[in-house]
Structure 1
Amino acid sequence: MHIVAPALILSVRAHGEHGAVVRALTRNHGVQPGYVRGGRSRRLRPVLQPANEMMGEWRARTGEQLAALTVELVESRAALHVEPLAAAALEWVTALTAATLPEAQPYPHLFDALDGVVAAVAAAPSARGWAPALVRYELLLLAELGFGLDLSRCVATGAGEQLHFVSPRSGGAVSRVGAAGYEERLLRLPPFLAVGGPADWPDVFDGLRLTGHFLTRDLLVDRRVDVAAARERLVERLKRAVA
């Protein structure tokens, strides 16, 4: 096995006395793990940071063997890891991707979307500039893994307009008419997810509640409690930032 490709680092785990196992997302080869010799060295520690963009080369004699990985830094996001809110966003979005995507299966749309979210966190002067993109990424991840929400029409009436809610059971949109009398049992569908456009903070938090419900129910179960905790930290920091 021999792969050379640009990639976004998702996770780094110490292995042995000096090495590290790195999992990174490539556009055409999906998530690829690899062993980096000397990955815990002073030279490579700044390179092997989640959300950094790298050029990776994976080599293995068989597909079952953990590949040897050499890395070349393309773009560093290390400075963002000292900013609490940006660091929480990068920690969450990379941990979510690492925990949910199967290895070696290409998800080009997710790669492009994740690259866009990371770039938005790096470029935006405030969280309001990247928070909607993060919610959209979570929605796309659900869809790519087979748990997509149907936001095209009301599951109760069939209407394609005035969609204001989502059923927490079916994941289908519900119109204002269809939701009459049941609003308290439904999740709010913010306009920026239904019809596009900008998002204010109430809309962002409604979006996070919506995607969080389905991520927790369908993807972040049992062994991924620590990943869910990263999302809770992000939401709490967002709430403090806008208070």
Structure 2
Amino acid sequence: MEWRDEGAVLAVRRHGESSAIVELFTAEHGRHLGVVRGGAGRRMGPVLQPGTQLAVTWKARIEDHIGSYTVEPVRSRSAHVLGDARALAGLNAVTALLSFALPERAPHPGLYGRSVTLLDLLGHADAWPLAYLRWEMALLEEMGFGLDLSRCAVTGERDDLVYVSPRTGRAVSAAGAGDWADRLLPLPPCLLGQGPVRAEEIAEGLRTTGHFLEKWLAPALGEKPLPGTRARLAELLGRMD
């Protein structure tokens, strides 16, 4: 068995004395693991970092085997994030959530494209936090837990949507909320594609997407908690001016 593809590194762990098991999110083969010979050595170690884009060839005698990768660097993203704590936290959250949520060897081409675009945006501090928030919405949608923000769940109206029901994931208007407003999640305008975007809207949006990642997505994947990197990012973005 053999195929060629391109993907972003999600995680790396040592395997034996000098090899590494590399987990990639690939364009055509989804989340896929393989062994890189010498991957833990001084030459390959700096290349095999989370977020790095690689061109790879995967080989295995039988399709079900973990197989091995030969890798060629396409671009490193470390230079964009190492001097920026928020951007580094963003990279760690994206790679950890993809590793957490995606089934092995199942293609997700739409999410792959959005993920690569987001990783490439991490060097642009004014653009990536909103892109990240919308990426979390896309991740929920891709995993079957999309939110319905098109109209109020109570009145059916499309205007003045300011809340999200934590139970159904549907939008609620100010009029439809009534006395239940304090029990609902915020729906900042940026989640509806309305701008300009204020920093506090990002924090509000992450509170809402975080609820559904924790209460809907994580339980569907078993007893595992969300990666701590996601909470770290939400904390840092909540401090933005």
Give the TM-score normalised by the residue count of structure 2: 0.93
**Could you tell me whether the CA contact under 8 Å between 1:168 and 1:213 is conserved in 2?**
yes
Q: In the TM superposition, what whole-angstrom CA distance separates every residue of 1:91-125 from its partner, at most 9, and x where no partner exists?
A: 11100001110011111111111111111112x1x
C-alpha displacement of 1:69: 0.5
Whole-Å separation in 1 of the counterparts to 2:239 and 2:19: 38
Structure 2 residue runs of 5 or longer lacking an equivalent are none
**Could you tell me whether the CA contact under 8 Å between 2:9 and 2:24 is conserved in 1?**
yes
Q: In the TM superposition, what whole-angstrom CA distance separates every residue of 1:180-237 from its partner, at most 9, and x where no partner exists?
A: 2211000111111113433211110011001000001122356543x53111211222
Alignment-derived partner of residue 166 in structure 1: 164
Whole-Å separation in 1 of the counterparts to 2:196 and 2:19: 44
Q: In the TM superposition, what whole-angstrom CA distance separates every residue of 1:105-164 from its partner, at most 9, and x where no partner exists?
A: 111111111111111112x1x2x4211100111110111111111111111111122211
Whole-Å separation in 2 of the counterparts to 1:71 and 1:198: 42
Alignment-derived partner of residue 193 in structure 2: 195
C-alpha displacement of 1:240: 4.0
Shift in CA distance, 45/83, structure 1 to aligned 2, threshold 3 Å: farther
Q: SS at 1:21's partner residue?
A: strand
Alignment of 1:134-149 (within 5 A): 134-149=132-147
Alignment of 1:1-243 (within 5 A): 1-79=1-79, 80-122=81-123, 124=124, 126=125, 128-221=126-219, 224-225=224-225, 227-242=226-241
Whole-Å separation in 1 of the counterparts to 2:117 and 2:238: 23
Give the RMSD, CA atoms, in angstroms. 1.5
**Could you tell me whether the CA contact under 8 Å between 2:129 and 2:202 is conserved in 1?**
yes
**Could you tell me whether the CA contact under 8 Å between 1:220 and 1:228 is conserved in 2?**
no
**Could you tell me whether the CA contact under 8 Å between 1:46 and 1:78 is conserved in 2?**
no
Whole-Å separation in 2 of the counterparts to 1:72 and 1:224: 33
**Could you tell me whether the CA contact under 8 Å between 2:100 and 2:227 is conserved in 1?**
no
**Could you tell me whether the CA contact under 8 Å between 2:200 and 2:238 is conserved in 1?**
no
**Could you tell me whether the CA contact under 8 Å between 2:202 and 2:237 is conserved in 1?**
no
C-alpha displacement of 1:239: 3.4
Q: Percent identity?
A: 42
Whole-Å separation in 2 of the counterparts to 1:78 and 1:130: 15
Whole-Å separation in 1 of the counterparts to 2:59 and 2:83: 33
Q: SS at 1:89's partner residue?
A: helix
Whole-Å separation in 2 of the counterparts to 1:228 and 1:30: 20
Q: Which of structure 1's runs of 4+ aligned residues deviate more than 4 A?
A: none
